[in-house]
A and B are shown apart, each in its own frame.
Chain A
Amino acid sequence: NAGVTQTPKFQVLKTGQSMTLQCAQDMNHEYMSWYRQDPGMGLRLIHYSVGAGITDQGEVPNGYNVSRSTTEDFPLRLLSAAPSQTSVYFCASSGSGAEQFFGPGTRLTVL
């Protein structure tokens, strides 16, 4: 059981570039979410999904897209990276118990 996996672990982008952060879980969890973590601000929800084919916006969705074609995968797309998107990104999944299982994170720097 790998739990929640994220790739890449580190990424540097130039302003305007696009990229996809990958997230996969092997626990058959219906609920998946993406957070960004910035110093002093805790975890902020970007997008979430309650099951395959269903996604919704969280607290800070602007500049990000998601899709959920399978239960296992929940990629996060940055369409045109901006310096304000420099952050650490965490993917999480949860089952019926609401405990969130987090991936190891992706540290993104946008120059």
Chain B
Amino acid sequence: TQLLEQSPQFLSIQEGENLTVYCNSSSVFSSLQWYRQEPGEGPVLLVTVVTGGEVKKLKRLTFQFGDARKDSSLHITAAQPGDTGLYLCAGKRKMDSNYQLIWGAGTKLIIKP
């Protein structure tokens, strides 16, 4: 059972279109991270959201953390071919004296020129 559900799993759209990727859980997280991974490379952190309801913008990318800190969304405006990649969300929660990162399965995004 995936503790952090990402949808859609795969998305292929034309350059210039808008899209939203969702990350949902029944668990509460202290923070949530979004990563982008390009073929042949490791994931790279895009943003961390911490506060319920928080919105962060990174150029054409808008990230939102749900009010209850159980879900998050990534919205891309006017997608570009350079946005192509695998987008991963990861929720952080406390476990004993350490923290645990729960990973979503990823959304594979292809932007066609």
A residues contacting B by CB (< 8 A) are 4, 40-45, 50, 90, 92, 98-100, 102-105
Rounded to whole Å, the gap between the CB of A58 and the closest CB of chain B is 9
Interface status of B52 (Cβ within 8 A of chain A)? no
Asked if residues A98 and B31 are in contact (CB atoms below 8 Å), the reply is yes
The CA of A41 and the CA of B42, in the complex, are separated in Å by 15
Given the known interface contacts A41-B105, A42-B104, the answer about A102 and B33 at a Cβ–Cβ threshold of 8 Å is no
Asked if residues A99 and B88 are in contact (CB atoms below 8 Å), the reply is no
B65: which A residues are within 8 A, CB to CB? none
Asked if residues B105 and A42 are in contact (CB atoms below 8 Å), the reply is yes
Which of B2, B42, B88, B99 is most buried by chain A, counting CB atoms within 10 A of its CB?
B42
Asked if residues B103 and A43 are in contact (CB atoms below 8 Å), the reply is yes
Number of contacting residues on B, CB 8 A? 23
Given the known interface contacts A98-B92, A98-B99, A100-B101, the answer about A42 and B106 at a Cβ–Cβ threshold of 8 Å is yes
**Which of A42, A50, A104, A105 touches B103 (beta carbons < 8 Å)?**
A42
Of the 9-residue stretches B13-21, B43-51, B53-61, B74-82, which lies at the interface with chain A?
A: B43-51
Interface status of B113 (Cβ within 8 A of chain A)? no
Interface status of B24 (Cβ within 8 A of chain A)? no
Rounded to whole Å, the gap between the CB of A75 and the closest CB of chain B is 17
Which of A43, A45, A100 is most buried by chain B, counting CB atoms within 10 A of its CB?
A43
Number of A-B contacts (CB under 8 A): 47
B41: which A residues are within 8 A, CB to CB? 102, 104-105
Considering only residues 80-113 of chain B, those with a C-beta below 8 Å from chain A are 88, 90, 92, 98-99, 101, 103-106
Chain B interface, >50% SS class = strand
Rounded to whole Å, the gap between the CB of A81 and the closest CB of chain B is 22
The CA of A40 and the CA of B8, in the complex, are separated in Å by 11
B88: which A residues are within 8 A, CB to CB? 42-43
A103: which B residues are within 8 A, CB to CB? 42
Q: Which residue of the partner chain B has the closest CB to A98? A: B92
Asked if residues A100 and B45 are in contact (CB atoms below 8 Å), the reply is yes
Asked if residues B43 and A50 are in contact (CB atoms below 8 Å), the reply is no
The CA of A42 and the CA of B102, in the complex, are separated in Å by 10
